[in-house]
Amino acid sequence: MSTPAAMPGLRGGRIAWQLSQTLWVGGAWVLHFVLMPALQQYGLAPRLQQDLAEYLYPLMTGFAAVCIALQLALVAWLLRRRFWSDLRAQLLLLAAVACAAFFVLRGLGEVDYLSGLAYLVMAFAGLVLLLQRRPDEE
């Protein structure tokens, strides 16, 4: 039986994996560590910074959740029974739980500290995921 890496129909899966990973991990890091500090340095009014943060963080987290779901589907399809023991799957599940926690905590009114912590857990899980091989590279 041929390995997943040898199957010619997986090129779209590889592209989907890399693109979704680049978009959600890169987007999360750029928003938190580049865009928001740049807006603070630019001298925008604090209320405007807060309004932008209240709009952009949930938007980025929702986008990340969609990309994470796509990556989870790809990992589940490629790894089948080894899904639960694979580090990539565990990192994606951690990131998905962090996304869900972000929205739950925002709904409870814990916008600042705990939802920010959930966002950073998602971002750091993505960073560690970047250091792993693609699921089709075994």
Q: Is the pTM of this model over 0.75?
A: yes
- Alpha-carbon distance 76 to 109, whole Å? 34
Binned average pLDDT, 10 residues per bin, the chain of 138 residues: 49 80 94 94 91 95 96 88 88 96 87 88 95 79
Which residues, 6+ apart, have CB-to-CB distance to 62 below 8 Å?
Answer: 99, 103
Domain ranges for the chain, please list them: 12-130
